[in-house]
Amino acid sequence: MNPITSFIKPNPLSRRKGPVDWILRIVLALVLVILTLAVLGAGYQATATWIDARNYPPPGQMVDVGGYKLHLYCMGSGSPTVVLDALFPGTVSNWAWVQPEVARTTQVCAYDRAGLGWSESGPGPHDAQHGASELHTLLEAAGVRGPYILVGHSLGGLTVRMFADQYPDEVAGMVLVEASNPDAWKRMGMPEGVGADRNQLAIGTFLARFGVFRLGLLSAFSTDADLPPKQRLELQAFFNSVKSIETVRDVNNSFSTALEQVRQTGDLGDKPLAVVLGSKGDGSNEQLQDLFAQQARLSSNGFTQVVEGASHAGLVDNQEYALQTSVVIRRVLEAARSAAALK
């Protein structure tokens, strides 16, 4: 026998590749492709987030509030200080039209709640009591003394109402800009939360690490076209971050607790209070009218202002409507200074 031909002769014990072998090879190839895409996506997310942090530094100061830092952005001078608390998941960028306008007559400080904008996430929980305590610590640590005029937009209304209940002697007045009412979700027949269940948010938080939201493979939050270009870019950079999705998840987990906490808060006595509504926003919802009326009755010195044409976000994001909101804030400010009645 020729030793060479004997060597290359197929082994009779070997078998041909069958369907199972090909399926295994395809599965292995798919796994390798998925792993490769995941690594590339995670790298892209991390790199893009780093670039965003370099391109969009915080406009204000980062203040230590006990092992983590919150972002506070102040301008103007005078007293009382106006404190701006944005809608969810908004940031100081949403006050681009309002803050400089009000700062013409007093000091105005906008801040990012924990996990929003430039603020670090902190230990939580993300409920109203903890948020109010964090805000108080932030203002004290930054040397911003009261009294304060608190302005809460949408979900920010929960924090400012809680703050006024916990620190009443430091609050001179309040403006609720289509502020969330603790009973609104039940009134609307909706689950108490941010509009997504916990499983969706858990999956979203996981997927965000691989850049799926930044790449537009899944839709997330988008910025308001009515904001100035600089603030739109700042806000979009935050929305593209993993932190933004994590914060939405954490706030959702504490949502019902926060609503119940605010239900237990008291009123403002005779301190000036304004409720600002948009004729095309929540203010147009007939199911919520009596709840907004209840908010106005939190003070014996309160009134309601409807901004014609304004949407919920447009009350602060749109320049025209933001100027009208600013007028109301200044009206409450002057009433607090002069101890005059708003009515």
Per-residue model confidence as pLDDT tens digits over 100-139: 999 999 999 999 999 999 999 989 899 999 999 999 999 9
pTM for the structure as a whole: 0.88
Longest dimension (CA), the chain: 116
Q: Is residue 311 part of a domain?
A: yes
Is the pLDDT confidence value at 242 over 70? yes
Cα–Cα distances (Å) from 93 to 71, 73, 89, 96, in that order, read 12, 10, 11, 6
- Enclosing domain of residue 314: 60-185+255-338
Name the pLDDT band for 1 (thresholds 50, 70, 90): very low
pLDDT tens digits, one per residue of 308-319: 999 999 999 999
- Would residue 272 count as lying in a domain? yes
Task: Kindly state whether residue 97 falls inside one of the protein's structural domains.
Answer: yes
248: in domain: no
In a domain, 303, yes or no: yes
On whether residue 240 sits in a domain, the answer given is no
pLDDT interval class at 18 (50, 70, 90): low
pLDDT at 342 over 80: no
Q: Is the residue at 148 inside a domain?
A: yes
Residue pLDDT, tens place only, 129-179: 999 999 999 999 999 999 999 999 999 999 999 999 999 999 999 999 999
Question: From start to end of 118-268, where are the E strands?
Answer: 148-153, 171-177
Peptide bond into 89 cis (omega under 30): yes
**201, part of any domain:** no
Phi, then psi, of 56 in degrees rounded to 5: -125, 75
Number of domains in the chain: 1
Please report, for the domain that includes residue 116, its CATH number: 3.40.50.1820
Exposure of 46 in the CB half-sphere (CA atoms within 13 A): 6
Mean pLDDT computed over every residue of the chain: 89
For β-strands 302-307 and 61-64, DSSP reports them as unpaired
